[in-house]
Structure 1
Amino acid sequence: MTDQALTTPARRRTLRPRTLVITAVAWLLAALFVLPYLEMVITALRPADELRDATFLPKHFAWNNLVDVWRQSTLGTNLRVTLEVAGGSTLLVLAVALPAAYYTARMTFRGRKLFMLLVLVTQMFQPTSLLVGLYREFFQLDMLNSVWTLIICNAAFNLAFAIWILTAYISSIPAELEEAALIDGLSRFGALRRVTVPLAMPGIVTALIFTFISAWNEFVMGLRLTTVPSSQPLTVGINNFIGNYTVQWNYLFAGSVVAILPVIFLFAFIERQVVSGLTAGSVK
């Protein structure tokens, strides 16, 4: 290599006009999506006497709103209930969906396609369409205002999605790996625990995070199946700031900020595994 080649500066990469336009549009769309959340945070920090002011930023920020919202409501208890419901639903879905998906992906049995069709059909039923029947059933069982009621309902409505995701991911894992483990002396359960589950972890995480987020954001079931404030989830507790004649906007948005932050951090932390799980089986 000559001295001239060593001293020649590297050519700077020039952006094409098409790339600039696409980047500008992407930033604009991102701003449009972020703007409502920014407005929510700003409103959560507005003093009560400035809620009706036609200004984007308040004259001064009321940081005490984030503290007073806990003192003047049952949000602390509602947050605990939501954590119990979301965590319990996620564990219940995992305990049921993983064996069902593994058996469906690895075994050939009569009625397999019918089983998968029935799993898909259950996704067609919305919780609101079954609300009257579920309310009557849990009323007769004396299970209203119970955390277990919300756990069972949320797990039932997210079970089909988890089975589909896990079946697709486990099917993409070569069965020869399990056969080699069986030859080495492992049982079927041992091969599942030591071989299949570690390889299927992105799919498992995808199913669990979607179940957790769905249970965390659930509102309709929590509103109708719970009437006592101490047994209501966070979404219903936030809704209590909407009165018949007034709306406490600053506390409403302060509670909303508290509700969305855990989900944002959780999704950002495992975003790569979620994408990997959703694209399982797309490439052969």
Structure 2
Amino acid sequence: MTTQTAPAHAAARPAKSRAARRTPPRLRTVGLAGGAYLIAIFFLLPYLEMILTALRPHNEIRDRNYLPHHFAFSNFINIWDTGLGTNLRVSLEIAVGSTALVLLVAIPAAYYTARRNFRGKRLFLLLVLITQMFQPTAMIVGIYREFMQFNMIDSVWALVLVNAGFNMAFAVWILNAYFGAIPKEIEEAAIVDGCSRVGAMFRVIIPLAMPGIVTALIFTFIAAWNEFIVALTLTTSDATHPLTVKASSYIGQYSIDWQHLFAGSVIATIPVIILFALIEGKVVSGLTAGSVK
């Protein structure tokens, strides 16, 4: 009887694989990770300072220590007595209304330009891009006179229309790229199965383009939520001021209400952080849409 022995190199393979798994990360990987953490800390420090200032008592506002000796959580409770709840509701109405109006107009426009070759298509897309070059600040006088003629000063609807108009171009462009990346054969197969053109768009194309739609949604929402100049110009009463304008009211001529200013800023960032955290994955995939053909 003869016995066969396995080669020595075959027995050494598991040991080598285990040793490879135990190999510590390379110096370059450690350096990149450490640099990324330092950059993240650098950008998070202002938010930490904002939270700590919001929690400082009034008598510690000028102390040199980084951490307060006492935490005044009452700052986040007393601020609601200043009418912040109304301003928060107004900001939500403006952001949600502007986002809904942008998607209502941008989705059909982007779908049609991505699927149809019509005369003046390039000119239309060029005009859409040109509108992105104009900022509300440069046109604020004309915007004010126009809405004054329509008797829409101090109206939430005026802010909804302005924010929707200035964010429409971005939504059309990103959705046009995403609709163009979806193969036409998928839509044609749905039409062969009995769907109409509109039915194929709602049942097939829009679900496939949802990452791009979510990307347009989050950027439009953030832009409308953070807008300040137009809101300051077109609103005159405290009941129609969004959070951005309300926060500026804590800065007086002779004194600044630092606790309420920073507490209001913390509250204003919470809805955006929650919204972005919920749909962050689709935002990333939507931004890369159309980059590879």
Query: If the TM-score is normalised by the length of the shorter chain, which range does it land in?
Result: over 0.9
Q: 1:232 aligns with which of 232, 241, 266?
A: 241
Secondary structure class of the residue paired with 2:292? coil
CA deviations on 1:154-182 (whole Å, 9 max, x unpaired) are: 00000000000100000000011111111
Mapped to 2, the partners of 1:85 and 1:128 lie a distance apart of 18
- Larger mean Cα displacement after TM superposition, 120-129 or 10-19: 10-19
**Percent identity of equivalent pairs:** 60
Secondary structure class of the residue paired with 1:38? helix
1:138-217 to 2 correspondences below 5 Å: 138-217=147-226
Mapped to 2, the partners of 1:165 and 1:56 lie a distance apart of 43
| Maintained 8 Å contact 1:75/1:238 | no
Q: 1:47 aligns with which of 48, 57, 60?
A: 57
User: Over aligned residues, Cα RMSD in angstroms?
Assistant: 1.5
Which residue of structure 2 aligns with residue 31 of structure 1? 41
How far the C-alpha of 1:10 sits from its partner, in A, is: 2.6
Residues 6, 221 of structure 1: alpha-carbon distance in 2 compared, 3 angstrom cutoff: same
Secondary structure class of the residue paired with 2:133? coil
CA deviations on 1:124-163 (whole Å, 9 max, x unpaired) are: 0010001000111111211011010000000000000000
Q: Which runs of 5+ in 2 are unaligned?
A: 1-5
- Larger mean Cα displacement after TM superposition, 167-176 or 135-144: 135-144
How far the C-alpha of 1:9 sits from its partner, in A, is: 9.1
Which residue of structure 2 aligns with residue 246 of structure 1? 255
CA deviations on 1:42-66 (whole Å, 9 max, x unpaired) are: 0000001110111101111000000
- With normalisation by structure 2, the TM-score equals 0.93
Matched, 1:110 2:119: yes
Residues 171, 7 of structure 1: alpha-carbon distance in 2 compared, 3 angstrom cutoff: closer
- Larger mean Cα displacement after TM superposition, 112-121 or 181-190: 181-190
How far the C-alpha of 1:13 sits from its partner, in A, is: 2.8
Partner amino acid for 1:22? L
Q: Which runs of 5+ in 1 are unaligned?
A: none
Mapped to 1, the partners of 2:250 and 2:128 lie a distance apart of 38
Mapped to 1, the partners of 2:23 and 2:264 lie a distance apart of 46
**Aligned pair count?**
283
Partner amino acid for 1:159? M
